[in-house]
Homo-oligomer: A and B are copies of this chain.
């Protein structure tokens, strides 16, 4: 099957052109159907391509020198949509010149530019940022929103649930992923009004390709018994970073402990395969590639400090979503929910 090419913002991120091009090359070594539009400084991209002969006939370069800075305000970046590597990569998707865009640049700017260029799809009020996280089981969990929308109403949360489930069906192969709303307790009375209204709406909805199972608390996100965790962007960002921070905290403590005596050092050397397994399971590069769901086009955010393997994973995520036509899946589910029933009644609460 032929796949639309993927526009890669070669200039975004902390690691620069080399890592972005190596990541694309790595993805292509796994699946040679990948084709790329590499957006950025032609000289530097060409130099990077020298070490990847497999990329020669698979990639075109779109030259530009301007780049969105990591700490730039989205409103400022928007003005340079036509000159920056990020803006041009997104624009390629808009023009149909590429099927998806991948960038490791400034998340807020990427969101703002994508929204403006690609527009939100019909039936969705706000796009959301979704990411995969490891679990104790052999499949990942999807969490959204992770920071695109600081405050969300019930209507947004219901739409996030539908988008997250469509994404999860692609990732897990399940017909009806288990969806839960992130809350501070599992009882019906817990949390904000928006959460309670969203829960009611999802509980009563029929015909959706998801299984709504109520609330989930933040300590259960990674246990493997939920496929999609739905939350507003503030709480989602807090939860995601708290999990990342705690995982790093524990592994740092473990390192210190292993260094604390000669005996422990020896034990560490012997059990190295075990700790390597742990390191591999937790390595963010293996779960790299957050997706902006709800746009008329696929945009994938690679972590700013991802290595080539991480970038390759982000590229693979973009390809997967193109192949499986995520956008149409979401549209079909929204139709099932009944778009008219989702009309906003002004108070953010969804009525049937």
Chain A: residues with CB nearer than 8 A to chain B? 71, 73, 136, 147, 150-151, 182, 184, 187, 189, 191-192, 217-223, 233-235, 237-254, 257-258, 260-261, 263-264, 266-275, 277-278, 281-282
Q: Contacts A234-B191, A267-B274, A273-B261 given: A247-B250 contact, CB under 8 Å?
A: yes
Nearest 9 Cβ contacts at the A-B interface: A267-B271, A219-B245, A267-B270, A246-B246, A242-B242, A264-B274, A218-B241, A257-B274, A218-B242
Known: A219-B245, A220-B245. 13 other contacts (CB 8 A): A147-B184, A184-B237, A184-B241, A221-B245, A222-B246, A223-B249, A239-B239, A239-B242, A257-B273, A257-B278, A260-B277, A264-B273, A267-B269
B184 in contact with A234 (CB, 8 Å): yes
CB neighbours (8 Å) of A239 from chain B are 218, 238-239, 242
CB neighbours (8 Å) of A250 from chain B are 246-247, 250-251, 278, 282
The residue in chain B whose Cβ has the minimal distance to the Cβ of A250 is: B250
A244 to B272, CA, bound (A): 25
The residue in chain B whose Cβ has the minimal distance to the Cβ of A261 is: B273
CB neighbours (8 Å) of A269 from chain B are 267
A235 to B232, CA, bound (A): 11
Q: Contacts A136-B249, A219-B242, A275-B257 given: A267-B264 contact, CB under 8 Å?
A: no
A271 to chain B minimum Cβ distance, whole angstroms, is: 2
A273 to chain B minimum Cβ distance, whole angstroms, is: 6
Question: A136's contact among B221, B222, B252, by CB below 8 Å, is which?
Answer: B252
A219 in contact with B248 (CB, 8 Å): yes
Can you spell out 24 A-B residue pairs with CB atoms less than 8 angstroms apart? A184-B241, A191-B234, A218-B237, A218-B241, A219-B242, A219-B245, A238-B238, A242-B243, A243-B245, A246-B250, A247-B249, A253-B281, A254-B274, A254-B275, A254-B278, A257-B275, A257-B277, A257-B278, A258-B274, A260-B273, A260-B274, A260-B277, A267-B272, A268-B274
CB neighbours (8 Å) of A257 from chain B are 273-275, 277-278, 281
Q: Contacts A258-B271, A273-B263, A273-B264 given: A238-B218 contact, CB under 8 Å?
A: yes
